[in-house]
Chain A
Amino acid sequence: MNWKQLALGAATVLALAACSSTKPMDPAATAPVASGSGANSGATAGAQQGGAVDPLNDPNSQLAKRNVYFDFDSSSVRSSEKPTVEAHAAYLAAHPDRKLQVQGNTDSRGSREYNLALGQRRAESVKNAMQVLGAKDSQIEAISYGKEKPKSNGSSDADYAENRRDDIVYQGQ
């Protein structure tokens, strides 16, 4: 169905197609796109590069991954997470008009403010890596939610691991 619509070639249709194609993939990570299925935000995120679908909205792209996970007590980007960081850095380098927030998070124990700073360090770590890979400082804001927005509320090692992460959130999405 998407390919049929693509064949029509109209930019607005392209935009809508881009939106609907992301919907079933990962509702949590891409919810802002789904909620913006009206023409406006869809048009921003969609059709660019002379008619090709914006890879940002391709569920099969590495760009569909919007989380970067960390080891305990670490803010280093581990090797398993590097493809995600590289993909977003390359995208930013190719799209100088796009901006994103890297939002650091921590697990739930300890001082709120110290955790905010630990989350910030994780966010800065990914921001720095993206800059080394060609993104510009002005395209990335590193911020932290500290321990305030745990993805997982449990207290198992797996829950904690789920909370030790950065979320990548594009402006306008």
Chain B
Amino acid sequence: MQLAFFLKDRRWLWMAFLAVLLPLGARAEDMTIEIVGGGSNQHAIAVVPFKSETSGVNEALTPTIKNDLSLSGVFRMVPTEGVANVPFSAADVKYPLWQAAGAQLVAVGSVVPTGGQFRISFALQDVAQKKTLTSGQFTVGADRARDVAHTIANMIYEAITGQKGIFNTRIVYVQKMGSEYHLQVADVDGGRARTVLRSKEPIISPSWSPDGNKLAYVSFETKKPVVWVQDLATGQRRMVANFKGSNSAPAWSPDGTHLAVTLTTSGNSQVYIVPANGGSPRRLTHSSAIDTEPTWSPDGGSILFVSDRAGGPQIYRIAANGGEPQRLTYAGSYNVSPKVSPDGKSFTYIRREGGRFRVMIQTFGNNDSRVLSDGSYNERPSYAPNGQLVLYASDQGGKSVLYAATTDGGSRVKLAVINGSVQDPAWGPSSNP
């Protein structure tokens, strides 16, 4: 079905191109990016390998830039091989040749050693207008090439879409490696993955602090679910909810001072608020049913959660200081795992429908919802900080893989996982290291 779509759309051409190109550009990490859907409004960009990018700095920039732009879903890569022009600066660009190659945009750049560091220059050229849309210069150490590549991708993305780029963001996920659970933090493209916690017992529900410096998660290492908070820089961690029964589903308040969690001290799963450093919980929901999976609105004023008080699990909203919850989902008998968009106008969640678990997006104030995912089993969607993409885990033939889908439903990108299975992803806040 998808193949037919691509054949009809002739997108197989650039699919085939990417299939060849990406393994060459791939780094040693576990994930590579593969486009599995394409929007109709993609900008055709040629990213010319930067001058001297394979010598000096510790990794070439343009593979990362191309991966990032592909991941956004709003660009498609125009092959640079075979074009009789290899420009490294704006002045070198022969526009008619790039126009003939189908490029609307050309990115060029160079890497020049300077006093023990490297000066990285780049420019984005508009082919039709023959002018520079954005450009930049960075003088950095050899080990910062990857950060600069992400920054350049951000600049290109922002110049074209007017939206903030997300390529300096990170993601967290749990990777099952044999009998071990690894809590992994990686660049959004899967690069620089590192293990921040390793356990023989399950780790679930990682959640980013708003400043991106800490993670809250549920670990079963003490033979029961306990909520921990871990500082990413120091590795120090502490239990913040370890009450009798189960402690789970941590979600940070937007100001970083509190966590919404699910506790069972009342004899059923209910939502509580605890200080992020630990302390006395304040009960937020009061039902005899299951109330869980809390998540805050960006203004901190309300909390969405899942409750089966009306039978099956549905999504509700409650004021952060308590009160009567309001039901938000009515279509479908199983709606779970909500997250509010950064602009506070919509929310994403999982709906079970005819045996499929679909990623949905729904606007507050009406019951209209649409499907973002393909495939039959998906879990735990979360928004990119700019609100333009949703990250989720998908089961494919017994393996979980990560997808990022544009919120307009136009395009979907797969972060293909080679080793082990990946679950419980969460998109972290922007950072500029």
Contact = CB atoms under 8 A, between A and B. Distances in A.
A120 B243 CA distance: 14
A113 B424 CA distance: 10
A143 B290 CA distance: 14
A141 B244 contact: yes
Given A109-B377, A113-B205, A114-B292, A145 B269 contact: no
Given A113-B248, A142-B264, A144-B225, A121 B357 contact: no
B357 A110 contact: yes
Interface residues of B, number: 33
B268 A141 contact: no
Interface in B315-359: 334, 336-337, 350, 352, 357
Given A141-B224, A142-B245, A114 B293 contact: yes
Contact residues of A: prevailing secondary structure? mixed
B336 A120 contact: no
A110 B262 CA distance: 18
A79 interface: no
Classify chain A: how many residues form its interface, as a range. 20 to 34
B202 interface: yes
Interface in B143-171: none
Interface in A72-121: 101, 109-114, 116-118, 120-121
Nearest to A169: B223
A111 B350 contact: yes
B57 interface: no
A109 B352 CA distance: 10
B292 A117 contact: yes
Nearest to A111: B336
B398 to A, nearest CB: 9
A124 interface: yes
Interface string A120-161: 110010001000000000000111111011000000000000
Nearest to A143: B224
B290 A148 contact: no
Given A124-B264, A124-B267, A143-B224, A114 B379 contact: no
A136 to B, nearest CB: 13
Interface in B190-222: 202, 204-205, 220
Contact of B379 (A111, A118, A142, A143): A111
A111 B293 contact: yes
A146 B334 CA distance: 17
Interface of B: 202, 204-205, 220, 223-225, 244-246, 248-249, 262, 264, 267-269, 290, 292-293, 306, 313, 334, 336-337, 350, 352, 357, 377, 379-380, 423-424
Interface of A: 101, 109-114, 116-118, 120-121, 124, 128, 141-146, 148-149
